[in-house]
A and B are shown apart, each in its own frame.
Chain A
Amino acid sequence: MTFKAFMSALAVSFAVPWFLIIVVPYAKMRDLEPVHFEQDSDGRDEVYVPRRSGRISTGSAVYGANGCYVCHTQMIRKGFAGSELGRPDWAGFRVQDESGVSINTSRETTPYDFVGEEFAHVGIMRVGPDLSNVAGRVQKYLDHPLTKADSPEGWLYLHLYNSALKTVTLNNKFGCPRQTHLFKEQPRVGQGSPNAVPGLENDGMEVLPTGNAKALVSYLLSLKKDDAVPYSINYSRDKKKAE
């Protein structure tokens, strides 16, 4: 086998998969067609524009730099590949829709859910819970009578600072490691600074979140991916049964 034949065979055996599973899907996913709500099936006729508010790009960078993706995932897999959809409060919530009927807003992750981020932190190991709908869960933890935090940001600051604190989920010792580097402690002067984290005052010290902590919490509170999607990418059973 001559050198030239060997090199070209090597190049071809690499080029085909490189082109088919990297370049083509990259180009196709980049120009994704936006899906439309249809009048007959969704009751309104407009384009589905995914909306996320909050400091998504900086927060996503802080999320990546601190390795949150090592233990947390952000993907609700489709039914045939995983059963996150069944787990309560992971893919969506039980809410009363406008006509008072309690519906389950769980749905799979769609390509439109990572809008505003450069890199989807899909995650490596799922030691901690999936974070696709963490914003909704935090809201529910706040409704628990014993939680110390008064706002979603407050709960998340408490959790990041010391997840062993009995905010609401009964703690076990392999909880989320303490992210104390995201906070700074300072002596409490007078009645303390307004943006100190409530519930963390002890013996004259108060804890303030740094810029990174605020960006991260704002990013986490933007993670709510259970909004209604158009009929064409809505795979729920009762909808399909309706036909």
Chain B
Amino acid sequence: MAHSKDSENQRPDLEDSTNVVEAHASLLATGAAQSRERRIEETGMEPVSLWVFLGSAIVLLVGGAVVGAGGKLFNYDPHPTGYVRPEYISDADSGPTIGPIMEALMKRGKNIYTKCSGCHGSSGAGDGGNRPPLANSEWVTGSPERLAMIILNGVKGPIVVDGKTYGADVMDGQGPLTADELAGIMTYVRNSFGNEVGDVVTPEQAAEAIKISNVRAGAHMSADELNANHDKALEGDPIDPSTPVDFETLKPVEASAPAPAE
């Protein structure tokens, strides 16, 4: 026979003896795992339950529908025929281009607020933990300069909002912001989530606030510092929220201009 009974040409195992007979005996003795093994019988011929074929049929249907979505099968032309680009109504260019300044700033603020919704919640209710709500918070509806300082430089240390003290978490400054962006976000938070201040922070006032913040050029604010030197209105003449402005440039447009047909 070509192959010897006991394949000693294999590398010897740790405790292998070179004596053939003994190796043979030990092979049998220690083959416990092998000895308790069972032989595999013939594969059974049980009838296949109907459910398997039913399930497969349903899956086949779904598969067919999916293939259907692929247009003509085996049509190797990469340019699809009969496809027309659907209509996309995007907020950016829908909506009026001239309207009250309140609407213009609210629209800008809404876009920017997506960056604040991570902590203050999409409905301005805070995150229930150590991030304060904006809804009826006196810091938001109170003096605009204080709110501007909070947004531009952030807050550190304990701060009482709507009766509860928050301070475990530090709010980073969200600057730098352009005057339009700051005006937008301040107007938005002061007139949403139930806050009804009703006035508008103009880009000029926002620019003033940015100047004050740059002059201070410090890191996070503290509640007392806010109340001590920033609890006042911003310079710059307030504007009637319903003066029509061009949405793009936020510049007032003389009222007589007929509203462009939408």
Contact = CB atoms under 8 A, between A and B. Distances in A.
Answer whether A and B touch in the complex at a CB cut-off of 8 Å: yes
A236 B85 contact: yes
B185 to A, nearest CB: 10
Contact of B83 (A24, A79, A111): A79
Interface stretch (A54-62, A82-90, A128-136, A218-226): A82-90
Contacts of A144: 178
Given A83-B88, A86-B90, A235-B84, A20 B74 contact: yes
A240 B92 CA distance: 24
Interface in B69-90: 69, 74, 76, 78-80, 83-88, 90
A28 B79 CA distance: 12
A170 B174 CA distance: 7
Given A88-B90, A235-B85, A172 B76 contact: no
Contact of A172 (B78, B93, B118, B176): B118
Interface residues of A, number: 32
A232 B83 contact: no
B112 interface: yes
A235 B80 CA distance: 9
Contacts of A32: 78
A166 interface: yes
B178 A145 contact: yes
B115 interface: yes
A83 B88 CA distance: 8
A240 B78 contact: no
Contact of A111 (B78, B86, B93, B176): B78
A24 B76 contact: yes
A78 interface: yes
Contacts of A233: 79
Given A25-B76, A94-B93, A166-B175, A78 B83 contact: yes
B27 interface: no
B85 A85 contact: yes
Interface string B97-118: 0000000000000001001001
Given A32-B78, A146-B176, A88 B92 contact: yes
B177 interface: yes
A172 B117 CA distance: 12
Contact of B88 (A29, A78, A86, A235): A86
Contacts of A87: 90
Contacts of A240: 84
A103 to B, nearest CB: 11
Contact of A232 (B69, B76, B79): B79
Contacts of B87: 237
Interface of A: 20, 24-25, 28-29, 32, 35, 78-80, 83, 85-88, 94, 107-108, 110-111, 144-146, 166, 170, 172, 232-233, 235-237, 240
19 contacts: A28-B76, A29-B76, A29-B78, A35-B79, A78-B83, A79-B83, A79-B85, A83-B88, A85-B86, A88-B90, A94-B92, A94-B93, A166-B176, A170-B174, A172-B115, A232-B79, A235-B83, A237-B85, A237-B86
Return the 8 tightest CB-CB contacts between A and B, nearest first: A86-B88, A79-B86, A28-B76, A170-B115, A235-B85, A146-B176, A88-B92, A111-B78
